[in-house]
Structure 1
Amino acid sequence: MNAKEPRGPNEKLGALLALAGISNAGLARRVNDLGAQRGLTLRYDKTSVARWVTKGMVPQGAAPHLIAAAIGAKLGRPVPLHEIGLADSDPAPEVGLAFPRDIAAAVRSATELYRMDHAGRRAGGGGIWQSLAGSFAVSAYATPASRWLITPADSSVARSGEDGGTTVRVGHSDVAKLKDAAQEARRWDSKYGGGDWRASMVPECLRVDAAPLLLGSYSDEVGRSLFGATSELTRLAGWMAFDTGQQEAAQRYYIQALRLARAAADVPLGGYVLASMSLQATYRGYADEGVDLAQAALERNRGLATARTMSFFHMIEARAHARAGEDKAAGAALAAAEGWLERSRDGDPDPSWLDFYAYDRLAADAAECYRDLKAPRQVRRFTEQALSKPTEAFVRSHGLRLVVSAVAELESGNLDAACEAGTRAVEVAGRISSARTTEYVRDLLHRMEAYGNEPQVVELRERARPLLVAPA
């Protein structure tokens, strides 16, 4: 917790603290709490903050980024280090948040993010993402979503490689390798969770394989395919970060994935990225913004996407409405999702990234909607349908469905059935690497606290203990 030498009063930090309405003691508490979320033991107090403001002392390590995150959370927007007078600390949290209009700038923005992630991983532990703890801000999605809605495709993406890039000539075979990598990563992620080492190789693939291709030479046709494949991989990297609890990394990957989808002129893929953003926003407690993002995906894809794709987007919309407590809107979105799914046919040109979506997935998400709406009878009905076809290909989804089933049984007063489903969920969670699944289990145990002395609850808690104390 040592600080660098004083530089004179930090007027920028003082002014922004006043704007945010945060006291010195309040900032210290927020920074300590954000550090604890990333396993850091920090003991800053109001005197520490006073030194930062009046003497210009700069705390070392992750502290500058935690300060920016704490103020940003209060203001409801990202706060870059230069705005609080701490821009000489690395790494810059702005990386990955830009959505450039210019295609060359878009390539630089994406490849810079890939390099930053690599530097963080080499640093060990949480690396850069640990430094950016808590820096997720849903407002960062506003500009990307609006620019994509206004212009969902670039006019041309052909590149000669003369503007600082390499001389490698990119062909369809290069793009095919990226698509194969994405398909393999999706398979491992579904089966073993975003933290599985085989799935987590996606960021390395982006840095080592995709980035040099983006900086190479290609025709407009090949470039569109290249940007599409790279967008898929980048969205996957974001999804895996989301699944393992690295929300700040997920947000940056999603923004770059959306920009690359625009370069690919792939509107359904852009909608898929927006749907991923919507789920994250909803999961983080920003359900209204989640509705907006899902509806943006729907609006641009009318008349373009397949029936199955439109069904998926409506299902994501329903999740956000349900989390916001809007039962009628959630019901309408679910009905629309079911209607579109009934229209789909085996011969439809559905995108490969949607191969997981069928009625059992719709039923699973419907169950979660009704869980949020506190309708346990509906939860049980849809969960039974979701669990009717267990498959080893989607282990994580099966585990999540078991937890939702346990919650429904608990709210219906069936403690034994809830503990039975919970036990099965814990067994599944122990076989995968997914912080999201662990959080579902944690929430279930929290709901069971009122039955804390019941033998079956005690047994379930003991079974879950290794899962809950293990690093996410």
Structure 2
Amino acid sequence: MTRQAENERNTGLAALLEEAVWSRTQLANAVNRMGAQLGMPLKYDHSAVSHWLSGTQPRQQVRRIILEVLQRRIGRPLTHAEAGLQVPKGDGAPHGEDTVESLLDLGRSDMDPSRRGVLAAGVYSAALAVPLFAGEAHAEERERATKPTGRIGDAEVTTVRTMTDRIADILDELGGGHARPMAAAFLVNTVAPYLRAAATARVRGDMLSAASDLTYLTGWMAMYERQHALGQRYYVKALKLATEAGDHVTYCRTLRGMSLQASSLGHGATALKLADSAAEAAPKAGPRLVAFLRGQQAHAASMVGDRKQAFVRLREAESALAKADSRRESIGGYDQTAYQFHVGHVLYETKDLPGSIAALKTSIRTQPKQERQGRLHANAVLAQRQYELGHIEEACSSWNGFLDDYVGLSTARGDEHFETMRKRLGPHRKVRAVKELGERVREVAALKL
């Protein structure tokens, strides 16, 4: 056994012992019984548990047993960190276990309202090291390490995929304020146990891929809620899950999401680096994904002043999109709406404000009716650019469209747009359109209190 910092009590283990309604002797006996089942004769008693509670770390193999018996007793997944135990190294743990542990810790903190303030206070890193894709190597490790016990199968993978689609629908219909807590809870309570279950190599890979998709979506929602450090942490988890699954598509899509996040924060060089990395990592991408990646490359290139590359990438995105089938993806899809939005960004960065406004109008016209979150953002951006051009009445019309969706959504990005609108309207109170809009703004503000 190893000792933690002097006099550092293990309050995590103490809390779990209390939650389990176990004495120290009962925990010791449960550990001994499981050790016997695993062929590890153990003879712990209440004094050993007292040492653990005082800060002594059990042997590496025993830490996993402690965690497992507590999970079975309490009836929910636990992490080593929650139990105040160091994660074992080199003890034959399944590949990717550290990723599952860290995802559990992140998701559980995101579920806890008392912890969200701490998560939101994190700092976004523009110099973050991105995990490299090594899916084929990990696929080989899964084949060697996994026994086909069948504890999870295709049905569980379908469950995760279906829930991810439903959460994406809730995001569009009600906003990230409602959808992200659901995603975090599902990650913790359902997906993490699936990732720890035994399965065939194929099913495990499919589950890792499905988990990566949901984690990416959760990061996207955190980004939309202006919790950029949290979003970045989810994105990194999604990258790790995708590379363990050998899933090029979700890996590249996540990198593209990280590029969008960087561009929204004004980090043009980082956005371009991430967008280029996503494109380089997708050698066998279909036309829709190619368009998806080229559009973001175009936006990022325009941010760093590379006008030539920006327009070349836009043409490539348009050409690829024309070759895509009509199937619409619920997560990270790319269509004419998204393409025209990218055109609007590129034209704005290259100082063509009227052209940017025209592209944004086209983007909004092609927006599917159910995608309220995207339409809300597009109308707000359009209004701000019309305002910048001096077209106050047109801006008021676009802000009215923004308010149509804002009243029914829980969205921090919408809140930000709402405050920006109020500031812009202030100096123009005498304009008739502003007066009329002002009355509605006050009504909406009262509803949002």
> Quick check: TM above 0.5?
yes
Name the structure 1 match of 2:331.
353
Read off the aligned partner of 1:428 and give its amino acid letter: D
What is the match of residue 156 of structure 1? 141
Match of residue 340, structure 2, among 357, 363, 381: 363
Q: Tell me the equivalent position of 2:227.
A: 246
8 Å CA contact retained: 1:129, 1:246: no
Alignment of 1:33-52 (within 5 A): none
Q: Deviations over 1:212-242 (max 9, x none)?
A: 1111112211111010000011111111111
**Which of 394, 399, 402 is the matching residue for 2:376?**
399
Shift of 1:390: 4.4
**CA distance in structure 1 between the aligned counterparts of 2:127 and 2:237, rounded to whole angstroms:** 12
Output one character per residue of 1:134-176: Cα deviation in whole Å (capped at 9) or x when no partner: 42332463242xx22x6675233258689xxxx9812111111
Kindly indicate whether the alpha-carbon contact (under 8 Å) linking 1:159 and 1:218 is maintained by their aligned counterparts in 2. Answer: no
Of 284, 290, 293, 2:265 maps to: 284
Read off the aligned partner of 1:244 and give its amino acid letter.
E
Q: Is this contact kept in 2: 1:193–1:243, CA < 8 A?
A: no
Equivalent residue number for residue 227 of structure 1:
208
Partner Cα distance (2:110, 2:367) in 1: 37
Shift of 1:470: 8.4
Q: 1:153 to 1:246 in 2, by over 3 A?
A: farther
Distance 2:346 2:421 in 1: 16
Q: Distance in 2 between matches of 1:293 and 1:138?
A: 13
Structure 1: how far apart are the matches of 2:300 and 2:446? 30
* Separation in structure 2 between the aligned mates of residue 463 and residue 152 of structure 1, nearest angstrom: 56
> Is the Cα contact below 8 Å between 2:109 and 2:116 reproduced in 1?
no
Native 8 Å contact 1:129 1:249 kept in 2: no
For residue 128 of structure 1, what is the aligned residue in structure 2?
A: 115
Partner of 1:265: 246
Q: CA deviation at 1:257?
A: 0.4
Residues 470, 282 of structure 1: alpha-carbon distance in 2 compared, 3 angstrom cutoff = farther
Correspondence 1:169 to 2:147:
no
Secondary structure, aligned partner of 1:301: coil
* SS of the residue 2:262 aligns to: helix
Q: 1:191 to 1:120 in 2, by over 3 A?
A: closer
Aligned equivalents of 1:245, 1:201: Cα separation in 2: 18
Give, in angstroms, the shift of residue 211 of structure 1: 0.6
Q: What percent identity do the matched residue pairs reach? A: 23
Q: State the alpha-carbon separation in 2 of the partners of residues 375 and 111 from structure 1.
A: 48
- For 2:146 and 2:323, the matched residues in 1 are separated by 45
- 1:417-444 residue CA offsets vs partner (Å, 9 max, x unmatched): 1111112212311211222233234444
Shift of 1:366: 1.9
Instruction: Give 3-state SS (helix, strand or coil) of 2:358's partner.
Output: helix
Structure 2: which amino acid aligns with 1:169? R
Residue 297 of structure 2 corresponds to residue 317 of structure 1: yes
Instruction: Report the counterpart of residue 111 of structure 1 in structure 2.
Output: 101
Aligned counterpart, 1:387: 364
CA displacement 1:106-147 (0-9 Å, x = unmatched): 33233333234324533x3xx333114442332463242xx2
2:232 partner SS:
helix
Q: Secondary structure of the residue that 2:129 maps to in structure 1?
A: helix
- Change in Cα spacing, 1:464 to 1:291, as seen in structure 2 (3 Å) is farther
Please tell me whether the aligned partners of residues 315 and 333 of structure 1 are also in contact (alpha carbons under 8 angstroms).
yes
Residues 367 and 467 from structure 1, CA distance in 2 versus in 1: closer, same or farther, beyond 3 angstroms?
Answer: farther
Give the residue type in structure 1 aligned to 2:118: S
Q: 1: CA distance between counterparts of 2:136 and 2:410?
A: 35
Q: 1:203 to 1:120 in 2, by over 3 A?
A: closer
- The CA distance in 1 between the partners of 2:425 and 2:362, in whole Å, is 24
Please give the alpha-carbon distance, in whole angstroms, between the structure 2 residues aligned to 1:104 and 1:286.
37
Matched, 1:205 2:195: no
SS in 1 for 2:239: helix
| Superposition deviation, residue 353 in structure 1 | 3.2
- Check 1:183–1:284 CA distance in 2 against 1; reply closer, same or farther (3 A cut): same
Counterpart pick for 2:175 among 167, 177, 193: 193
Q: Structure 1: how far apart are the matches of 2:278 and 2:305?
A: 21
Deviation, 1:322, is 3.2
Query: 2:336–2:366: 8 Å Cα contact kept in structure 1?
Result: no
**Gap runs ≥5 in structure 2:** 1-80, 83-91
**C-alpha deviations, 1:15-70, integer Å up to 9, x for none?**
xxxxxxxxxxxxxxxxxxxxxxxxxxxxxxxxxxxxxxxxxxxxxxxxxxxxxxxx
Query: Aligned letter for 2:165?
Result: Q
Aligned 8 A contact 1:239 1:250 in 2: yes
User: What is the rounded CA distance, in whole Å, between the counterparts of 1:279 and 1:156 in structure 2?
Assistant: 32
Q: 1:253 to 1:346 in 2, by over 3 A?
A: same
Q: Counterpart amino acid of 1:439?
A: E
* Preserved contact between residue 110 and residue 181 of structure 2 (Cα < 8 Å): no
Distance 1:469 1:215, change over 3 A: farther
Give the gaps of 5 or more residues in structure 1: 1-89, 92-101
> CA–CA distance in 1 between the matches of 2:145 and 2:136?
23
State the 1:352 CA deviation.
Answer: 6.1
Which of these residues, 319, 326, 329, is aligned with residue 309 of structure 2?
Answer: 329
Question: Quick one: structure 1 residues 225 and 379, their matched pair in 2 at CA, closer, same or farther if it must change by over 3 Å?
Answer: same
1:401, 1:352 → 2: CA distance?
Answer: 18
Contact 2:99–2:240 (CA under 8 A) maintained in structure 1: no
What number of residue pairs does the alignment pair up?
360
What TM-score, normalized to structure 1? Answer: 0.68
Give the partner amino acid of 1:114: L
- Counterparts of 2:144 and 2:415 in 1: how far apart (Å)? 44
Supply the distance in 1 between the matched residues of 2:165 and 2:389 (Cα, whole angstroms).
40
1:363-442 alignment runs, 5 A limit: 363-442=340-419
Residues of 2 paired with 1:287 and 1:437: CA distance?
23
Deviations 1:376-430 (A, max 9, x none): 2212321232122343320111122212322332233321111111122123112
